[in-house]
């Protein structure tokens, strides 16, 4: 979502005549769009601010945006005196005003969560450099998992309107986008009304987006197990443009830990859900998020997390060491886990995840599939495209083929990407 927010800020400032600096070193303004989810991300922001001052002592105007800005507010400019602007994730449509105010002594701070939505104040989407785009359809979270800052930094769940989403999708597609990834902290909690006033969930939105002819692929992330409706599961079996990939974080494979996390789903419930999704779309690739070392997690409870990785057989996963976040209930819980224990558990978890990822990729060798060519590869003449299951495929193809959907034969697989050969037929 920070990528999306960054693009929107750039588009908004572009409308006011600003352009991207060719070289970051001679920028007049630098916006650090930040993440607060783990402590490491916060530390990085402060070290980046320090690096902004040039050898001759000059520096650009510095804005800190995003969730660190929201959580720390004016504290940021006290800790880092060179910061001129602090703007939260729900207030960045006011950046032009803040820029005008900045540089007059005190930092300009805006961490309001205004009733008016920023989306209404942002300009229409401009032509995108790539054939894939993100589109935020909802923001915020009402679930309050005990480890997580998101409900405090992004605010309560808010769904954008049906019409606004469709307009933005059409503008992206008119600008050449072939694949849209719908975004939200709990994207599948999206609710709204269609243009006839009928109540709709995200499945209805997906079905409507699928009617846009030139849009070829639809994805969404991140979804929450509790918001995985029957309609959305059915859509995976019925809507061809909805890609067979589901990122469905479980966090832990142990019920006591899930309860302490306030996840409000059990291991059994999660596994049943996966069965139903697979019944609707047997080839679906699954992805997840895991936290190791939540306060009080025993070795046996951690072993349950290794078990669920094997039980599901994920195509890929994100895994994190628990990071205590100020103001969240878990930060004050007894039984905080020592760093070396967390390190060890993370290594073992990642080994299990990698085993499945390697197996999933290897199973595609010899298959013919369709990829959307997204960008140049590392070597001249090489492009990178994605399979329906979100794997990166390297192929030999000319630059002008970016944006094409082509059939490839997968000839080899590594842990993180595949190699493909272009088939003779061009896909629809
Ligand atoms: N709403 C989504 C996840 C959004 S946050 C869901 O609930 O599934 C993205 C991921 O960051 C989470 O899934 C979690 O694995 C991780 N995360 C959040 N807070 C964390 C913390 N305090 N320490 C470590 N990882 C954390
Ligand atoms: Fe954070 Fe996701 Fe839990 Fe919300 S549901 S509190 S975003 S982990």
Give the integer Cα–Cα distance in Å for 385 and 387.
7
Give the atom of ligand 2 at the shortest distance from the alpha carbon of 144.
6
Looking at the fold, whether 341 and 393 belong to one and the same domain comes out as no
Say what the pLDDT of residue 116 is. 80
For 148-199, write each residue's pLDDT tens digit: 999 999 999 999 999 999 999 999 999 999 999 999 999 999 999 999 999 9
pLDDT of residue 428: 47
Burial pattern 100-121, b for ≥16 Cβ within 10 A else e, equals: ebbeeeebbbbbebeeeebbee
We report the CATH number of the domain holding residue 285 as: 3.30.750.200
CB of 222 sitting under 6 A from ligand 1: yes
Indicate whether 181 and 259 sit together in one domain. Answer: no
Q: What is the mean pLDDT of residues 397-425?
A: 92
Give the CATH number of the domain where residue 78 resides: 3.40.50
Q: What is the CATH number of the domain that holds 391?
A: 2.40.50.140
* Domain-ending residue, one of 173, 204, 220: 220
Looking at residue 114, its pLDDT comes to 84
Instruction: Answer yes or no: do 359 and 373 share one domain.
Output: no
Examine residue 170 and state whether it is found in any structural domain, yes or no: yes
Q: What is the pLDDT of residue 106?
A: 82
| pLDDT tens readout for residues 268-300 | 999 999 999 999 999 999 999 999 999 999 999
Instruction: Let me know whether 254 and 355 are in one domain.
Output: yes
CA-closest residue to ligand 1 atom 10: 289
In a domain, 192, yes or no: yes
**140 C-alpha to center of ligand 1: Å?**
13
Q: Model confidence over 132-142: pLDDT tens digits?
A: 999 999 999 99
Domain assignment of residue 213, given as a range = 124-220
Question: pTM (2 decimals)?
Answer: 0.95
Whether the CB of 318 sits within 6 Å of ligand 2 = no
DSSP track, 204-228: HHHHHHTT-TT--EEEEE---GGG-
Residue 59 lies in a domain: yes
Binding-site members are 141, 145, 148
- Whether 115 maps to a domain, the answer reads no
89 and 13, same domain (yes or no): yes
Q: Is the domain of 381 the same as that of 397?
A: yes
How far are the Cα atoms of 25, 148, 201 from residue 61, in angstroms, in the given order?
12, 31, 42
Q: Are 57 and 133 part of one and the same domain?
A: no
| Residues 400 and 316 both lie in one domain | no
**Residue whose CA lies nearest to ligand 1 atom number 11:** 37
User: What pLDDT, in 10s, does the model give residues 301-338?
Assistant: 999 999 999 999 999 999 999 999 999 999 999 999 99
Which of the listed residues 220, 255, 290 is the one where a domain comes to its end? 220
* Number of domain units in the chain: 4
């Amino acid at each position: 979502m920070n990528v999306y927010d960054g693009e929107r800020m750039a588009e908004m400032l572009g409308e006011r005549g600003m352009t991207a600096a060719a070289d970051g070193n001679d920028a007049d303004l630098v916006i650090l769009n930040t993440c607060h989810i783990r402590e490491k991300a916060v530390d990085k922001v402060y070290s980046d601010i320090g690096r902004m001052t040039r050898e001759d002592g000059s520096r650009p105007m510095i804005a800190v945006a995003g969730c660190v800005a929201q959580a720390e507010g004016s504290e940021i400019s006290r800790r880092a005196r060179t910061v001129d602007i602090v703007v939260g994730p729900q207030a960045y449509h006011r950046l032009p005003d803040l820029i005008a105010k900045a540089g007059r002594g005190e930092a300009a701070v805006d961490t309001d969560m205004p009733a008016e939505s920023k989306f209404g104040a942002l300009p229409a989407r401009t032509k995108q450099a790539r054939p894939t785009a993100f589109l935020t359809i909802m923001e915020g979270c009402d679930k309050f998992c005990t480890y997580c800052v998101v409900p405090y930094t992004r605010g309560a769940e808010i769904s954008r309107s049906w019409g606004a989403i469709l307009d933005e999708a059409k503008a992206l597609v008119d600008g050449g986008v072939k694949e849209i990834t719908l975004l939200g902290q709990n994207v599948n909690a999206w609710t709204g009304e269609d243009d006839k006033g009928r109540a709709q969930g995200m499945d209805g939105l997906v079905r409507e987006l699928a009617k846009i002819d030139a849009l070829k692929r639809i994805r969404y992330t991140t979804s929450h197990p509790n918001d995985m409706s029957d309609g959305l599961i059915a859509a995976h079996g019925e809507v061809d443009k909805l890609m067979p990939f589901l990122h469905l974080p479980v966090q832990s494979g142990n019920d006591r830990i899930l309860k302490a996390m306030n996840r409000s789903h059990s291991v059994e419930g999660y596994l049943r859900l996966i069965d139903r999704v697979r019944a609707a779309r047997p080839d679906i690739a699954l992805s997840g998020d895991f936290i190791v070392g939540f306060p009080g997690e025993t070795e046996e409870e951690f072993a349950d997390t290794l078990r669920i990785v094997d039980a599901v057989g994920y195509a890929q996963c994100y895994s994190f060491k628990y990071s205590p976040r100020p103001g969240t209930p878990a930060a004050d819980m007894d039984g905080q886990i020592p760093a070396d224990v967390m390190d060890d558990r993370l290594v073992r978890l990642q080994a299990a995840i990698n085993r499945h990822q390697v197996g999933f990729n290897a199973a595609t060798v010899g298959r013919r599939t369709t990829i959307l060519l997204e960008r140049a590869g590392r070597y001249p003449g090489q492009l990178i495209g994605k399979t329906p299951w979100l794997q990166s495929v390297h192929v030999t193809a000319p630059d002008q083929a970016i944006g094409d959907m082509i059939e490839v034969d997968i000839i080899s697989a590594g842990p993180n990407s595949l190699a493909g050969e272009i088939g003779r037929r061009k896909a629809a």
